[in-house]
């Protein structure tokens, strides 16, 4: 009798791949990379930017695992095969324990950037993410945590500089708009399942048809703020990426209204990447 190579592994080792899939890896990695790039552009240096990356990743992991733990019953009822908790691969208690562990680690990691920056991150992005999962996801205020969370990320970066300062208004406004746009496109594939489960956030109330076009409008507005907000006159290098962002945003949401797709969310990540590129070009002006 032969054993499969993984049969002798402890239960925790079997659950590790499921934990990775349950943390919402795409947005977790994307947000971490984007904010780390912002930190480098703003002058946080290698060590400071590494501290930012560690704190943001821990916060994003905590929010992702919290989301799957809270939504376990709904995801199971909807037959979500992409959610390890819904398929039974990962017990909800394990996801919840991972969320609390990541949250606990996020506190000291955020404090590496200083107390003011830590308050901005923990009181902004992390608190907003947990508030969305636990309270506001089913309400008309569902975009608010995204606006607050993403709008606070520039403050986490600039308040951790050697000479701490509040970020420029256009950096905060663009972050908030990008967060709202990401919320709309993230909900888009699951609107019918959400409504059936009683989840009536603002995008669900607006409906798929409206959200398909609201998302690119919000995202392109964010890029527009980054083009026109910083000091100085916008040049060709600013407007060309803005046009590209518009094309990507529209293409990502142009799938037929009755087709489920993750492409709108991936398009939002691309547009956010273009926005971060804009910030990198004006990084020294953000503080």
Are 52 and 160 within 8 A, CB to CB?
A: yes
Q: CA nearest 32: which of 66, 9, 12, 55?
A: 55
Nearest-angstrom CA–CA distance, 159 and 164: 4
Provide the token pair at 148: 């607050």
Q: How many CB atoms lie within 10 A of CB 235?
A: 10
pLDDT computed for residue 138 by the predictor = 92
Provide the token pair at 251: 């293409």
pLDDT computed for residue 269 by the predictor = 74
Are 189 and 261 within 8 A, CB to CB?
A: yes
Q: CA nearest 167: which of 255, 274, 283?
A: 283
Task: Domain 15-285: give its CATH code.
Answer: 1.10.600
Burial of 193 per CB tally in 10 Å (0-12, 13-18, 19+):
middle
Whole-model pTM above 0.75?
Answer: yes
pLDDT computed for residue 232 by the predictor = 75
Are 150 and 276 within 8 A, CB to CB?
A: no
How far are the Cα atoms of 10, 83, 146, 168, 204 from residue 192, in angstroms, in the given order? 39, 17, 21, 39, 8
pLDDT in tens, the chain (287 residues): 333 334 443 455 567 888 889 999 988 998 999 899 889 988 999 999 999 999 999 999 999 999 999 988 887 877 777 788 888 888 999 999 999 999 999 999 999 999 999 999 999 999 999 999 999 999 999 999 999 999 999 999 999 999 999 999 999 999 999 899 889 988 887 888 888 888 899 999 999 888 888 888 888 898 889 888 887 777 777 788 888 888 888 887 776 655 666 677 677 778 877 877 787 777 667 87
Nearest-angstrom CA–CA distance, 63 and 245: 27
The region, left, alpha or beta by phi > 0 then psi within -120 to 50, assigned to residue 46 is: alpha
The region, left, alpha or beta by phi > 0 then psi within -120 to 50, assigned to residue 114 is: left
Q: How many CB atoms lie within 10 A of CB 123?
A: 15
Are 218 and 95 within 8 A, CB to CB?
A: no
């Amino acid at each position: 009798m032969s054993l499969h190579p993984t049969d002798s592994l402890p239960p925790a080792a079997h659950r590790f791949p499921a934990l990775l899939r349950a943390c919402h890896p795409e947005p977790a990695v994307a947000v971490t990379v984007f904010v780390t790039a912002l930190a480098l552009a703003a002058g946080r240096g290698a060590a400071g930017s590494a501290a930012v990356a560690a704190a943001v990743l821990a916060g994003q992991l905590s929010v992702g695992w919290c989301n799957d733990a809270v939504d376990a019953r709904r995801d199971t009822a909807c037959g979500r095969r992409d959610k390890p908790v819904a398929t039974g691969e990962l017990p909800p208690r394990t996801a919840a324990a991972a969320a609390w562990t990541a949250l606990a680690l996020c506190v000291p990691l955020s404090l590496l950037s200083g107390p003011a920056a830590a308050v901005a991150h923990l009181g902004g992005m992390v608190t907003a993410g947990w508030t969305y999962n636990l309270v506001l996801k089913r309400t008309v205020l569902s975009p608010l945590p995204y606006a607050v969370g993403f709008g606070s990320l520039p403050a986490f970066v600039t308040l951790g500089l050697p000479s701490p300062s509040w970020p420029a208004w256009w950096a905060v406004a663009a972050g908030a708009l990008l967060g709202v746009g990401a919320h709309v496109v993230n909900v888009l594939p699951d609107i019918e399942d959400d409504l059936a489960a009683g989840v009536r956030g603002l995008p669900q109330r607006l409906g798929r048809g409206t959200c398909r076009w609201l998302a690119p409008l919000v995202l392109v507005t964010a890029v527009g703020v980054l083009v026109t907000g910083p000091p100085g006159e916008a040049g060709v290098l600013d407007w060309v990426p803005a046009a590209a962002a518009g094309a990507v945003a529209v293409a990502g949401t142009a799938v037929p209204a009755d087709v489920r797709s993750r492409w709108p969310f991936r398009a939002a990540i691309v547009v956010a990447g273009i926005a971060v590129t804009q910030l990198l070009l004006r990084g020294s002006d953000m503080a």
